[in-house]
């Protein structure tokens, strides 16, 4: 009764293979006595159905599996077999699944299956992140935030550490005056005030304020994908607060883990400007020996007609800048803010300089900050002019397509589970399903568009 080209028929063989050792992995987390437990393979298969077809509610998932023939077949349920009660999922998720980290294990088994089928080349990776907002932990204030508390956008904001509370929502609602602005110190003040006037308060500090892509500012989690460019197989996935700083740090974790778990070390990494910081490029080039196909995050270019840093020549041999007037700018070697060296011109040179008005308008002598990882940034800048970089920039879109498909094909618009661990579970299941679909597509070909075959 189930068409040959049905998605569940196409992925079933791979699912059977990757779940082969599921009972062995989860064995220590089940008791030898008591009532028989619900087969974890059934639960995982049901979750895979849910993420394949965008069935976001577990209550609805149980109902769909009860009624849908293909879903029953995929779950190996006979027509008379009972479907688990929906709360079984949360019970298992909060206990066995998280303790055993089984979703991570299944994800890695899927990646290994893709590698065995030659779908992972390992030459070039791409990384990107997107944010998803939470649902359950964002609550609406009882009265508009703009009617109470401070109104100035420049007013200092302080972080409310609600994680300490066991019942954060109840505790927050019990507050007589909700005057505290809950905000990540790195968030933009005006964006935060705009959110506050819309009446949202958020609890918990595992997520982060985000106003990416000009969406409404919100608390959210970042989904980080590291993909192999060849077939867009997701080789690692990580959940973070929706904050660029954490997303870049997660990339380091993912690259290290891909090397450790799968012995995969790419020759090049493609990413967008958010990853073009000196610190990350330095780590990538010096520690990992990976060529960055990443646009450099330029903060030094000036638009007011004054010489920018790029107008000065870096003399590598002498370790100094040469200004347009041919004078040297040297450093004392002191590292400022843990990452910057200051190169200074001589006051005597600048005082008599004919082009001083275009270079040094306020200070006694021109100063140029240089990132301690500027060498790595220079390597990335040189790469930006190559054809290989242009190719990587196009290929990088494959990771963005992964996010787009999640939203359009899998109904993945808001997070359903609470906390970073909930986001992690959801992102792993999403990555498992997307990789399973890639496995089916690359090995079986596209599903036939002709009338379904039931053979």
Residues engaged in binding ligand SF4 (CB under 6 A): 323-325, 327, 345, 349-350, 353, 355-356, 359-360, 366
Do 223 and 173 meet the contact criterion of CB atoms below 8 Å apart? no
Minimum separation from the CB atom of position 365 to ligand SF4 (A)? 6
Q: How far is CA 379 from the centre of its chain?
A: 25
Q: Is the dihedral of CA 194, 195, 199, 204 positive or negative?
A: negative
Q: What single-letter DSSP state applies at residue 317?
A: T
Q: Report residue 306 as tokens.
A: 């004054």
**How many alpha carbons lie under 13 Å from residue 328 in its C-beta half-sphere?**
8
Instruction: State which residue, 157 or 345, has the beta carbon closest to ligand SF4.
Output: 345
- Please state, in angstroms and rounded to a whole number, the distance separating the CA atoms of residues 238 and 236: 7
Q: Smallest gap, in angstroms, from Cβ of residue 355 to ligand SF4?
A: 5
Residue 176 CB partners (closer than 8 Å, separation 6+):
none
State which residue, 215 or 347, has the beta carbon closest to ligand SF4. 347
For ligand SF4, give the closer residue by CB, 353 or 380: 353
Nearer to ligand SF4, 354 or 455 (CB): 354
CB of 347 to ligand SF4, least distance (A): 9
Neighbours of 106 (CB within 10 A): 25
Nearest residue (CB) to ligand SF4, 149 versus 324: 324
CB of 318 to ligand SF4, least distance (A): 15
Please name the residues in contact with 28: beta carbons below 8 A apart, sequence gap of 6 or more.
100
* SS3 state of residue 188: coil
Nearest Cα to Cα of residue 353 among 388, 324, 396, 386: 324
3-state helix, strand, coil split of the chain in percent (to 5) is: 45, 15, 40
Q: How far apart are CB 348 and ligand SF4 at their closest, in Å?
A: 9
Query: Taking Cα atoms as reference points, which of 261, 183, 176 lies closest to residue 226?
Result: 261
CB of 186 to ligand SF4, least distance (A): 34
- Residues sharing a CB contact under 8 Å with residue 360, sequence separation 6 or more, in sequence order: 345, 350, 353, 366
Give whichever of 312 and 399 is closer to ligand SF4, judged by the CB atom: 312
Q: Which is nearer to ligand SF4, 37 or 325 (CB)?
A: 325
Measured from the CB atom, is 82 or 354 closer to ligand SF4? 354
What gap in Å lies between CA 72 and CA 87, rounded to an integer?
Answer: 19
**Direct distance between the N- and C-terminal alpha carbons of the chain, in angstroms, rounded to an integer:** 9
Write down the least CB distance from residue 344 to ligand SF4, Å: 9
CB 164 within 8 A of CB 203: no
User: Shortest approach of ligand SF4 to residue 345 CB, angstroms?
Assistant: 4
Q: Which residue do the tokens 């508390």 mark?
A: 149
Query: Within 10 A of 185 (CB to CB), how many other CB atoms are there?
Result: 9
Provide the minimum distance between the beta carbon of 360 and ligand SF4 in the complex, in angstroms, as a whole number: 4
Cβ nearer to ligand SF4, comparing 15 with 353: 353
**Nearer to ligand SF4 among residue 149 and residue 319 (C-beta):** 319
Task: Judge whether 243 and 222 are in contact, CB under 8 Å.
Answer: yes
Q: How far is the CB of 214 from ligand SF4 (least distance, A)?
A: 39
């Amino acid at each position: 009764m189930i068409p040959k080209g049905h998605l569940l028929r196409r992925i079933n063989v791979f699912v059977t293979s990757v779940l082969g050792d599921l009972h062995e992995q989860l064995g220590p987390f089940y008791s030898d006595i008591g009532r028989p437990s619900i087969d974890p393979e059934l639960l995982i298969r049901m979750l895979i159905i849910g993420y394949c077809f965008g069935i976001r509610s577990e209550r609805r998932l149980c109902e769909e599996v009860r009624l849908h023939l293909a879903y029953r077949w995929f779950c190996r349920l006979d027509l008379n077999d009972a479907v688990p009660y929906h709360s079984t999922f949360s019970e298992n998720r909060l206990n066995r699944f998280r303790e055993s980290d089984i979703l991570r294990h299944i994800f890695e088994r899927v990646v290994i299956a893709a590698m065995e089928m030659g779908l992972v080349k390992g030459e070039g990776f791409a990384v990107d992140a997107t944010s998803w907002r939470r649902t359950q932990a964002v609550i609406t204030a009882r009265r508009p935030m703009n009617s109470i508390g401070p109104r100035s956008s420049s007013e200092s904001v302080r972080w409310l550490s609600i994680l300490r509370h066991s019942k954060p929502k109840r505790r927050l609602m019990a507050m007589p005056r909700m005057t505290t602005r809950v905000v990540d110190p790195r968030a933009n003040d005006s964006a935060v005030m705009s959110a506050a006037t819309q009446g949202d308060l958020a609890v918990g500090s595992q997520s982060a304020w985000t106003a990416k892509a000009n969406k409404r500012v919100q608390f959210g989690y970042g989904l980080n994908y590291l993909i192999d460019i060849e077939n867009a197989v997701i080789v690692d996935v990580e959940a973070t607060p929706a904050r660029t700083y954490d997303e870049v740090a997660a990339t380091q974790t993912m690259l290290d883990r891909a090397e450790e778990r799968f012995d995969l070390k790419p020759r090049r990494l493609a990413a967008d400007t958010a990853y073009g910081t000196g610190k990350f490029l330095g780590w990538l080039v010096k520690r990992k020996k990976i060529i960055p196909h990443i646009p450099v995050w330029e903060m030094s270019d000036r638009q007011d007609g004054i010489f920018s840093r790029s107008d000065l020549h870096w003399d590598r041999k002498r370790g100094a800048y040469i200004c347009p007037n041919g004078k040297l700018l040297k450093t004392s070697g002191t590292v400022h803010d843990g990452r910057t060296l200051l190169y200074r011109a001589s006051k005597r040179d600048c005082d008599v300089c004919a082009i001083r008005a275009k270079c040094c308008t306020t200070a006694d002598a021109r100063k140029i900050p240089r990132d301690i990882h500027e060498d790595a940034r220079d390597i990335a800048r040189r790469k930006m002019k190559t054809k290989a970089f242009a190719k990587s920039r196009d290929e990088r879109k494959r990771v963005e397509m992964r996010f787009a498909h999640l939203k359009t094909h899998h109904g993945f618009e808001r997070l359903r589970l609470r906390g970073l661990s909930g986001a992690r579970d959801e992102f792993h299941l999403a990555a498992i399903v997307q990789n399973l679909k890639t496995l089916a597509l690359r090995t079986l070909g596209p599903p036939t568009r002709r009338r379904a075959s039931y053979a």
